[in-house]
């Protein structure tokens, strides 16, 4: 029986468009670099998702790129082309097996695209920017920008044909949509850059095109979410005040939900807003009624409830659902004391984690709570 103090995690949630989720718990979108070499969904990915989607309210995929030049990771599945429809269809079906609504996250990596993976090494962004390797990105032309906007619409149509319940526009983590909004990476002086309002032109054009494509492709209610990062470390980068401007603009778009990307769900701002209150609380207030997904180092049900009490309508679990695929069932059954918070190097098969993702888990110290396996006496 569910512990009373965690019962609110299992409340049903109504999104802005009337779509109902069976509870507040979300599978966070996590890159796993485990797709097939042809960028189609792999059997290993399907098995990985199937192991951890039971009884979730919402399941958001790892991000898929909307056109070849938008790739951001090795072995990342694609949201374009007829050849990718069968795999995406299997993925949508798998995510829905436990009652969750399935959402395909879509993006263009922009200047974060690895030159070795981007066709012809043509790394592009709003402006020519010096990259980490010392080379320069190429500034997109007006025509290319308009073409990429249409690619987001085509990816949405593909998601609908594949059977997804929605898409999440990935405007966070420094990828192309955020690059256009940021004064650090967008130094244009045409319609796509300049003032804060002008730098919102591309993000809002993507939202409009995704909504247009969805309305044209289905008469059923279709989830459209938007993920964003509230701040950037660069001097000319985003502050909380910029994010409030973004949320005000998105408020007029009647999105299904907003998804804030945070490292710590209860962190406080560095610049802008009220430095003494959490980002999440201030974002919920600025969202003016649009449901917000809170995320960031949520591992225990106590932390999940705290995020709800800060105003989040839903809480997303990323790393924790890898460490403990049965998190939802254990909390629902009142067995929260049995939730695993660590893993060992011997746990890959038990946790059904693809090889490439497991390599990152073990190979990146501090990313996951990896402990030594206990040995029998």
Task: Measure the CA angle with vertex 303, ends 299 and 306; round to 5°.
Answer: 155
Task: Measure the CA angle with vertex 312, ends 306 and 91; round to 5°.
Answer: 110
Give Cβ neighbours of residue 155 (< 8 Å, ≥ 6 apart): 64, 66, 79, 80, 104, 106, 167
Rounded to the nearest 10 degrees, what angle do helices 240-251 and 279-286 cross at?
Answer: 30
Strands 20-21 and 13-14: antiparallel
SS3 110: helix
d(CA 170, CA 193): 19
Burial label for 309, CB within 10 Å (0-12, 13-18, 19+), is exposed
Q: Is 175 a catalytic residue?
A: yes
**Active-site entry in 48, 175, 226, 257:** 175
Give the phi and the psi of residue 28 in degrees, each rounded to 5.
Answer: -70, 150
Report, as residue numbers or ranges, the catalytic residues: 175
């Amino acid at each position: 029986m569910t512990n009373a103090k965690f019962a609110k995690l299992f409340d049903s949630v109504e999104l802005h468009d009337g779509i109902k989720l069976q509870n507040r718990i979300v599978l966070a979108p996590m890159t796993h670099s485990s797709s097939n070499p042809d960028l189609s969904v792999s059997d290993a990915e399907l098995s990985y998702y199937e192991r951890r989607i039971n009884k979730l309210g919402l399941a958001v995929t790892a991000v898929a790129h909307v056109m070849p030049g938008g790739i951001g990771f090795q072995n990342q599945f694609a949201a374009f082309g007829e050849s990718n429809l069968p795999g995406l269809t299997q993925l949508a079906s798998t995510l829905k097996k436990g009652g969750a609504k399935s959402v395909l996250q879509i993006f263009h990596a922009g200047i974060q695209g690895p030159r070795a993976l981007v066709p012809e090494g043509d790394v592009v962004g709003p402006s020519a920017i010096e990259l980490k390797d010392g080379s320069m990105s190429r500034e997109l032309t007006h025509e290319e920008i308009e073409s990429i906007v249409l690619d987001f619409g085509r990816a949405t149509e593909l998601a609908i044909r594949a059977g997804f319940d929605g898409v999440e526009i990935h405007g966070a983590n420094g990828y192309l949509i955020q690059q256009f909004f940021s004064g650090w990476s967008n130094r244009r002086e045409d319609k796509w850059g300049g003032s804060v309002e002008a730098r919102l032109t591309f993000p809002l054009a993507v939202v409009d095109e995704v909504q247009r494509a969805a309305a044209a492709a289905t008469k059923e209610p279709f989830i459209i979410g938007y993920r964003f990062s509230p701040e950037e470390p660069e001097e000319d980068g985003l502050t909380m005040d910029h994010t409030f401007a973004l949320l005000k603009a998105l408020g007029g778009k009647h999105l299904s939900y907003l998804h804030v990307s945070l490292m710590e769900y209860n962190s406080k701002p560095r610049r802008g807003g009220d430095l003494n209150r959490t980002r999440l609380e201030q974002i919920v207030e600025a969202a003016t009624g649009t449901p917000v997904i809170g995320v960031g180092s949520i591992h225990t049900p106590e932390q999940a409830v705290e995020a709800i009490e800060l105003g989040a309508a839903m809480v997303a679990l990323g790393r924790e659902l890898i460490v403990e695929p049965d998190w939802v069932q254990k909390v629902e059954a009142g067995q929260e004391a049995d939730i695993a918070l660590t893993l060992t190097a011997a746990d890959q098969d038990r946790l059904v984690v693809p090889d490439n993702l497991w390599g990152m888990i073990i190979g990146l110290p501090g990313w996951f709570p990896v402990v030594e396996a206990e040995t029998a006496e």
